[in-house]
């Protein structure tokens, strides 16, 4: 694994017209650590992830990813699990994973074999993605996001649809990724899960950091 970036936000503010989604956010996300971002709906959590993941730019303030000067550099090492699966519905789960491996220059057969073992992907992985249950979709989405061993991992409500064994599997995966040195940010309403996986946390309220 290449060096994971330290992500620093300094006085980051993001506005959408009259709405202030983030207000003067100061925080740092460090390599080898899992940071939970907590808060109610509308507190700015997803906006923060979008800025860290280069999908949005701050209105003011600065964000830096150490060792990664451009958005293209950041995206090469980024793994993202969000509300959209980023999987093609008419491809099978296996085909989606193999496609992700190919795009990142990873060996397809080996990547699929590892994903099946790591996320316990059963025979359903050979059916079209559109036929999956919510939990099955989430497991394949996680496998796709991790296929290239990203050094910056953004997880937005990653336990959605997972049963107890699926959550336990995810806890282990997150711990393994942190042990390898990745910078990991978890947005979750599932505070017991967040407390279990995170080594630090911040809480947002109306776009402001109120606890860190």
pLDDT value at residue 83: 86
- Taking each helix axis from N to C terminus, what angle separates 134-146 and 93-103, rounded to the nearest 10 degrees? 20
pLDDT value at residue 2: 59
**pLDDT, averaged across the chain:** 94
Q: What does the pLDDT look like over 149-205, one tens digit per residue? A: 999 999 999 999 999 999 999 999 999 999 999 999 999 888 889 989 999 999 999
Q: What does the pLDDT look like over 119-155, one tens digit per residue? A: 999 999 999 999 999 999 999 999 999 999 999 999 9
Q: Which two tokens stand for residue 24?
A: 């003067």
pLDDT value at residue 16: 94
Q: What does the pLDDT look like over 87-113, one tens digit per residue? A: 999 999 999 999 999 999 999 999 999
In order of 29, 79, 106, 170, 174, the CA distances from 194 in angstroms are 15, 18, 30, 11, 11
Q: Collapsing DSSP states into helix, strand and coil, what is residue 60?
A: strand
Instruction: Kindly tell me the sign of the dihedral angle through the C-alpha atoms of 65, 67, 70, 76.
Output: negative
Q: Which two tokens stand for residue 30?
A: 């460090």
Largest CA distance in the chain: 50
With 0-12 CB in 10 A as exposed, 13-18 as middle and 19+ as buried, what is 108?
Answer: middle
pLDDT value at residue 190: 86
Domains of the chain, first to last: 1-77+150-212 (3.40.50.300), 88-148 (no CATH)
pLDDT value at residue 62: 97
């Amino acid at each position: 694994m290449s060096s994971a970036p330290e992500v620093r936000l300094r006085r980051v503010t993001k506005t959408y017209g009259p709405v202030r989604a983030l207000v003067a956010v100061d925080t740092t996300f460090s390599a080898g650590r899992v940071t939970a971002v907590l808060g109610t709906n509308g507190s700015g959590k997803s906006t923060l992830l979008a800025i860290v993941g280069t999908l949005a730019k701050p209105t003011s303030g600065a964000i830096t990813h150490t060792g990664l000067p451009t958005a293209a550099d950041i995206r090469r090492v980024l793994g993202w699990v969000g509300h959209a699966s980023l999987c093609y519905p008419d491809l099978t789960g296996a085909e989606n994973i193999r496609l992700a491996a190919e795009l990142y220059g990873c060996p397809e057969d080996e990547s699929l074999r590892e994903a099946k073992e790591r996320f316990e992907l059963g025979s359903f992985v050979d059916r079209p993605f559109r036929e999956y249950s919510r939990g099955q979709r989430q497991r394949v989405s996680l496998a796709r996001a991790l296929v290239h061993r990203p050094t910056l991992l953004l997880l937005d409500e990653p336990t959605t649809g997972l049963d107890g064994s699926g959550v336990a599997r995810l806890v282990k995966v997150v711990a393994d990724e942190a042990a390898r040195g990745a910078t990991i940010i978890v947005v979750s309403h599932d505070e017991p899960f967040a407390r279990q996986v995170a080594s630090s946390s911040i809480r947002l309220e109306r776009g402001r950091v109120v606890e860190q």
